[in-house]
Homo-oligomer: A and B are copies of this chain.
Amino acid sequence: MTRSEIDVDVVDFQPGRWGNPAEPMHLSESVLGALTMLGISESAPAAVEPVLPATRIDDDTVAALTATGAVVATDDADRRARLRGFSTPDLLKFREGDGSDAPDAVVAPTTADQVTAVLAVCADRGLTLNPFAGGTSVTGGMAPGRGKPVISLDLRELTGLLDFDGVSQIATFAAGTRLPDAERLVGERGFEIGHFPQSYEGATVGGCAVTRSAGQSSIGYGRFDEMVVGLTVATPIGTAEIGTAPKSAAGPDLRQLFLGSEGALGVVTAVRVRVHPVPAVRRFYGWHFPDFAAGAAAMRAIAQGNVRPTVLRLSDEAETGLNLANPSGAGSASSSGPVGGCLMVVGFEGDEADVDCRDTYVSARIADLGGTALGTEPGEHWRLGRFRGPYLRDPLLDAGALVETLETVTFWSNIDRLKADVTASITETLGAAGTPAVVMCHISHVYPTGASLYFTVIAKALEDPLAQWGAAKRAANAAIRAAGASITHHHAIGTDHRETYLQEIGEVQVAALRAVKNAIDPDGLLSPGILLP
C-alpha cells in the first residue's frame, strides 16, 4: 500500500454542520429502523439562520487591525463561519438561530509578525482574541467570553512547511497548516506525521498542539503532545521559542505548559513535530472477542508489552452491534465475522521486517488472550472509513435524534467502574426524561497504565434538546469526577469542561496556572474564559 491510499483532502466544514458537503451522508434503512425503536419518528425542526449581534469593533479599530497587514472582516458571513465549534450543543444552537457567541471580527494574519502586531492592537484597544484554525472544537473552545469585544484570530493563512530536518526526522509547520496538507508536504519528502484524529480533514497542526489531540495511531506514533518537539508562541510579553532538545532535565518541561493551553497562554504560530518514513507496509486486521471484558484485558496486555501495533481499538458490544466502525454500513450487521461480541481493530505500519516481527508477536498474543481472527477485511473497512463516523451526526439530528459523544481516560484498574458509571449516569438521566438511550463505547487509545473510553449516545430529541443533553452531560461529568478519571482524553477543556477541570486539578495547580496566565497575559487578551474563568 502506498501513501495515497490513506490520503484524504482538507475538508472545509460548513458552519453548523460536520463533514464534507460534497459527500452528504444518508441514513440506512436499518439505522432508521433503530431510530424507530428509540421512539424517534419526527424530524427535527427546520434550522433557522443564526442572527448575530452587531459587531462592537468600530471602523477606527478595523483600520488599526488592517494596518498590521492581516485581513480583517466584520461582516456577518465571515463572523457566522467562526461561530462556535462542532459539539452537538454548538450544532443545536446554530440550528436554533442563536448567533450570540459570534466574534466581533475575523482577523487573518499571514505571518507570525502580524500575529504579534494584532496582539499589540488588542492590548491598545481593549480587545480580546481567540485563535481559530480548524474550528473543530467540540468543547466550546470557539466560544470565548464576550466581556470585551472579541476577535476570531483566523490562522488559516499561516500555513506551510517552514523547515525540514530529515536526519532528526523533524518537520516545522506554520500553525494553521491543515493536517492533510501537512501530510502532503512531508509525504513529498518520503515522510509521514501519522496523526489521524477523527477531525483530520479539518484540523490544523497548531490546533492539535494546543488541545493535546490524540490520533488513531497513538499506540504507534504517540499522541500529538508526544510528537511535538518545539513550539513558537506569540504572547503579549514576547515570543517564546520552546523546546531545545528531544528530552531534557533542564527544569520543568515547559513545552507541556503550552501544549494544552488552548490559546489562553499565547498564540502558537509554528510547531516542530516528529515525523517518520512513510510506511512501506500497512496491515489492518479485525479480531473478535466474546465480550468487552475479554477484549479490554487483551488491550491491556498488548499496551503493557514491549512489542506493540500501530493502531489498536476495541468497540464494546453495543458499538459492535451497530457496526459504527463501518459508517457506510452503520446499523447493518458486520459484513464478516460472528454476530455479537466485540470487534477489535489492530493495525501495523512500518517496513516489512518490522511489521512481520510485530504482527507475529502481537497476533499470537491476541489469539492466546481469546481473540478470534477475522482477517483483514474488518480492519480495512475501519481504515478506509476512519474519519466518517461523525458525518452521521447531522443526518441523525435532522431525523430527530439527539446524538453526541464524550470521552474520558483512567487507569486500567478503574476502567470497568468508569464505563459502568458513565453509561449509567447517561442512561438514567435521559431515561428519566422519557428518552431511553443507546450508549456505545470504544477504547481507541491505550497506555501501559490505562486507556481512554469514548462514548456515543443516541436518544430521541425532546423539544429542548440542549437542556436534555445538558443534564446528561452534567451527570456524566459528575460520574467521571467521582471515579477520579480525567474529564477529557483528547477533546480538551474549552469552556464546556472548565468547571470540572478546575475541580480535577485542585487549588494548588489552579493557582500555578492562574499565575502563568497573569504573567504572560496581564491584560487578559487571550481566549477569555477558555481553561480559566
Say if the beta carbon of A433 comes within 8 Å of chain B.
no
Interface residues contributed by chain A, number (CB under 8 Å): 98
Question: Looking at A251, A358, A484, which has the most chain B CB atoms within 10 Å of its CB?
Answer: A251
Q: Are B493 and A251 in contact (CB under 8 A)?
A: yes
A257 to B409, CA, bound (A): 21
| Segment of A142-150, A259-267, A421-429 engaged in the interface with chain B | A259-267
Q: Are A250 and B214 in contact (CB under 8 A)?
A: no
**Which residues from 218 to 270 on chain A have a C-beta closer than 8 Å to any C-beta of chain B?**
220, 223, 225, 229, 233, 235, 237-242, 244-262, 265-266
Quick one: which of B249, B304, B360, B519 contacts A512, CB cutoff 8 A? B519
Residues from chain B with Cβ under 8 Å of A184 in the complex: none
A383 to B260, CA, bound (A): 40
Say if the beta carbon of A6 comes within 8 Å of chain B.
no
Residues from chain B with Cβ under 8 Å of A165 in the complex: 411, 413
A212 to B253, CA, bound (A): 9
Residues from chain B with Cβ under 8 Å of A242 in the complex: 505, 509
Given contacts A167-B412, A251-B513, A515-B515, contact A450 B354 (CB under 8 A): no
Q: Are B488 and A448 in contact (CB under 8 A)?
A: no
A411 to B230, CA, bound (A): 12
A260 to B364, CA, bound (A): 40
Given contacts A238-B507, A512-B516, contact A488 B249 (CB under 8 A): yes
> When each residue 456-498 of chain A gets 1 if its CB lies under 8 Å from chain B and 0 otherwise, what string results?
0000000000000000000000000000111111111100010
Q: Are B447 and A169 in contact (CB under 8 A)?
A: no
Say if the beta carbon of A449 comes within 8 Å of chain B.
yes
Q: Are A214 and B249 in contact (CB under 8 A)?
A: yes
Say if the beta carbon of A274 comes within 8 Å of chain B.
yes
A194 to B357, CA, bound (A): 24
Residues from chain B with Cβ under 8 Å of A493 in the complex: 249-251
CB distance from A380 to the nearest CB of B (A): 21
The residue in chain B whose Cβ has the minimal distance to the Cβ of A223 is B247
Say if the beta carbon of A46 comes within 8 Å of chain B.
no
Residues from chain B with Cβ under 8 Å of A248 in the complex: 212, 409, 486, 488-489
Residues from chain B with Cβ under 8 Å of A251 in the complex: 260-262, 492-493, 501, 505, 513, 531
Residues from chain B with Cβ under 8 Å of A265 in the complex: 252, 512
Question: Looking at A235, A249, A259, A485, which has the most chain B CB atoms within 10 Å of its CB?
Answer: A249
Given contacts A245-B485, A251-B261, A492-B249, contact A508 B168 (CB under 8 A): no
A487 to B504, CA, bound (A): 34
Say if the beta carbon of A307 comes within 8 Å of chain B.
yes
Q: Are A246 and B354 in contact (CB under 8 A)?
A: no
Residues from chain B with Cβ under 8 Å of A409 in the complex: 245-248
**Which residues from 166 to 180 on chain A have a C-beta closer than 8 Å to any C-beta of chain B?**
167-170
Q: Are A350 and B256 in contact (CB under 8 A)?
A: no
Given contacts A245-B409, A260-B252, A358-B306, contact A240 B508 (CB under 8 A): yes
Residues from chain B with Cβ under 8 Å of A492 in the complex: 249-251
A519 to B515, CA, bound (A): 6
Residues from chain B with Cβ under 8 Å of A213 in the complex: 249
Q: Are B513 and A520 in contact (CB under 8 A)?
A: no
Residues from chain B with Cβ under 8 Å of A24 in the complex: none
A443 to B513, CA, bound (A): 36
Given contacts A237-B508, A257-B257, contact A447 B306 (CB under 8 A): no
CB distance from A252 to the nearest CB of B (A): 5
A274 to B449, CA, bound (A): 7
Q: Are A449 and B169 in contact (CB under 8 A)?
A: yes
Given contacts A235-B508, A520-B512, contact A249 B489 (CB under 8 A): yes
A504 to B213, CA, bound (A): 27
Q: Are B413 and A448 in contact (CB under 8 A)?
A: no
Task: List 27 contacting pairs A-B, 8 Å CB cutoff, sorted by A.
Answer: A212-B247, A212-B253, A233-B508, A237-B511, A239-B508, A244-B410, A244-B486, A244-B504, A245-B409, A249-B489, A249-B491, A250-B486, A250-B505, A252-B259, A253-B256, A253-B260, A254-B513, A256-B256, A305-B350, A306-B310, A306-B350, A307-B358, A511-B520, A512-B516, A514-B519, A515-B516, A515-B519
Closest 7 CB pairs of A and B: A515-B519, A256-B256, A240-B508, A246-B447, A245-B486, A248-B486, A168-B411
Which A residues form the contact surface with B (CB < 8 A)?
165, 167-170, 211-214, 220, 223, 225, 229, 233, 235, 237-242, 244-262, 265-266, 274, 276, 300, 304-307, 310, 350, 353-354, 357-358, 360-361, 364, 409-414, 445, 447-451, 484-493, 497, 501, 504-509, 511-516, 518-520, 531
